[in-house]
Amino acid sequence: MVTTNWYKKKGERIWTPWFIKFLRSFGCFNLYTNISLESALSVSHRDAGVNYGRSAGPDSNLINGSSPLDINLWEMKPLKDLKWFDFCFGEVVMGRVAKNFNELGSLLLSLQKQGTVIVVDLYRISKANAMNLLSHFERLNIRNYILFGDGLGFLYDLANRGHPVVDSEPLVLEIRAVDPMKMQGVNSDFMKEILIKNHVINKCLESGLGAWLITANMVPIENLFSNMTYQREDMVLVRDTELLFFRNLETMVKAWSSSERDGGDGSVFGQYGGTCW
């Protein structure tokens, strides 16, 4: 990016890219104006100095009391109605948080064109590791993923950055309300995590999606999720990693649903009769 070149070339002689980097690091955003007639609320006069060998004059027209405008500067749209963009100016869809299974279904529906979804487990994962994984996803142009965790502020911060997330706590409460018997013995955070994994994967399969299940304690250096193809295997466990793949097949959906009816504790791994590598 242009700003990256600025860092390398200008160092500390120019403050703008460092301010952008600061905003990026802390999950903040710039607000950009789009006023007609090349007008602006502030103007760079581009005087001779570090950036310009000689004076280049103002880069836009400074607004004053007599400036003709086609907007009312005192009227501001709600932030949710404005367009949001990420660091690389890709448009960001804000607030994609699933707090119940209907919302989870809608979230997965937005990913159906991808054919598969990467389900990322953020339980017991540090913020640094999660951000590292997402940085590699961005580098590899991986966008078919959802993140799930226990409703920490960090989870909602990720949603505000445009990442699709699933808040597990409301889902646990929904399961408890619908089927109290299923929640017997599910008291620890670890058991809740297994329960939510089971239900999220099942929802993926029911939605016609294959699913990868991973934790954020990994660094993908290439897009193995699309590079690895399986001709026969219905379920794949990559040895020595926390990496699982489930193919969207009718037999797999039935097996997974049966596991949920039997208690939702992941016992599908032991009873599933399809081929597994």
Q: Which residue has the tokens 């020595």?
A: 240
Where in the chain is CATH 3.90.550? 93-262
pLDDT score recorded for residue 274: 37
Q: At what angle do helices 2-10 and 16-25 cross, to 10 degrees?
A: 120
Q: Can you name the CATH fold of 93-262?
A: Spore Coat Polysaccharide Biosynthesis Protein SpsA; Chain A (3.90.550)
Q: What is the pTM of this model?
A: 0.66
Compute the chain's Rg from CA coordinates. 24
pLDDT score recorded for residue 265: 45
**CB of 171 closer than 8 Å to CB of 76:** no
Predicted confidence pLDDT, tens digits, the chain (277 residues): 676 777 777 777 778 777 877 877 776 777 877 777 788 888 889 899 877 888 989 988 888 777 666 667 677 778 778 888 776 677 777 778 888 888 898 888 888 777 888 999 998 888 888 888 888 888 888 888 999 987 678 888 888 778 899 998 888 888 888 777 766 666 677 788 888 888 888 888 888 888 888 888 777 777 777 755 555 667 777 766 667 777 765 656 565 555 555 544 444 443 333 333 3
For residue 67, give both structure tokens: 């400036």
